[in-house]
A and B are shown apart, each in its own frame.
Chain A
């Protein structure tokens, strides 16, 4: 599986845009490379996080990168690899290299 960090970032941002389509104006996610995803700085709840991550998985699969984003730290406020865009991209890149 070879996918660049830039490609991963674009998949993540695209999934966040898609998530926003189903969210009201007050709870839109900030779509940027340094935005929070899950935790006290984000309005995304755990079920919303699941939907977003499944969209990310699909986007990665379409780009030829078949990974499953399951992690025991998923909903940890401090240690979750899904707490922001930066940590998510780094996490996916590590998985893709395994």
Chain B
């Protein structure tokens, strides 16, 4: 398979970093972005330090990508932030920031990517959701709502981009040991794991496996789907 051009948001750490490493090892050209610098060093990796909610910075990124690459084959909207708090105690600015990062930024990257993906033979958009959506856990209302918006967006965008040969799917991981879950109390994590059919922490490779399935050229009929890890949903 020819090397693909893969754009991943939120590659400074966690799942995004693992995804970047995986597709670099597969021989793809990877462009990553995030607020922090990346520790990844690879001849086929380009890191763009930006805030995914900064529309001007995203516009400049895509102008640069259009100059460098004729097509974009894969977009993985991975950048996300969490807010574990009761509704009554969550400041409105926090709710706004979570929506901006988890949903609006993914929308903007998708909108821009469609323009570059039309020439790709197997263009794929993958959004990262969470099992917090189907589990409807107390204390995660804002975070889960933002990912719920992303899931609905995934299902509808799938219909709109299908005429261009682009698929759009989402994967909803159960808890993985990352910075995002580090601040969640053990008891809360255990509640989630107890609700899973497969009662263990997931690892980044579990997410990679689902995304690899979405990215296969043979998966051109798989679109508008949300796959949760661990048997949730």
Contacting pair B160 A47 (CB below 8 A): yes
Q: Is the CB of B163 within 8 A of A51?
A: yes
Question: Which of B14-22, B82-90, B110-118, B145-153 makes up part of the contact surface?
Answer: B110-118
Tell me the interface secondary structure of chain A in the complex: helix
Contact across chains for A54 and B118 when beta carbons are under 8 A apart: yes
A18 to B45 CA separation, bound complex (whole angstroms): 36
Please report A residues at the B interface, Cβ cutoff 8 Å.
47, 50-51, 54, 57-58, 61, 66, 70
Residues of A within 8 A of B115 (CB): 54, 57-58
The answer to whether A54 and B114 have CB atoms under 8 Å apart is yes
- Across the interface, A66 reaches (CB within 8 A) one of B63, B160, B163, B164, namely B63
Query: What would be 13 A-B contacts, judged by CB atoms less than 8 Å apart?
Result: A47-B160, A47-B163, A50-B160, A51-B163, A51-B164, A54-B114, A54-B115, A54-B118, A57-B115, A58-B115, A61-B66, A66-B63, A70-B111
* Cα distance, A61 to B163, chains bound together (Å): 22
CB-nearest residue of chain A to B119: A58
Report, as a range, how many residues of chain B touch the other chain: under 10
B-to-A contact residues, CB < 8 Å: 63, 66, 111, 114-115, 118, 160, 163-164
Minimum C-beta distance from A21 to chain B (A)? 14
How long is the Cα–Cα vector from A66 to B118 in the complex, in angstroms? Answer: 17
Chain A min CB distance to B91 (Å): 29
Closest 6 CB pairs of A and B: A47-B163, A54-B115, A54-B118, A47-B160, A51-B163, A57-B115
Residues of B within 8 A of A51 (CB): 163-164
CB distance from A49 to the nearest CB of B (A): 11
Nearest chain-B residue to A46 (Cβ)? B160
Q: How far is the CA of A23 from the CA of B179 in the complex (A)?
A: 51
Other A-B pairs, 10, CB within 8 Å; known A51-B163, A57-B115, A58-B115: A47-B160, A47-B163, A50-B160, A51-B164, A54-B114, A54-B115, A54-B118, A61-B66, A66-B63, A70-B111
Closest Cβ of chain A: how far from B157's Cβ, in Å? 12
B66 nearest CB neighbor, chain A only: A61
B102 to chain A, nearest CB (A): 21
Q: With the chains together, A58 CA to B71 CA distance in Å?
A: 12
Give A66 to B62 CA distance when docked, in angstroms.
Answer: 12
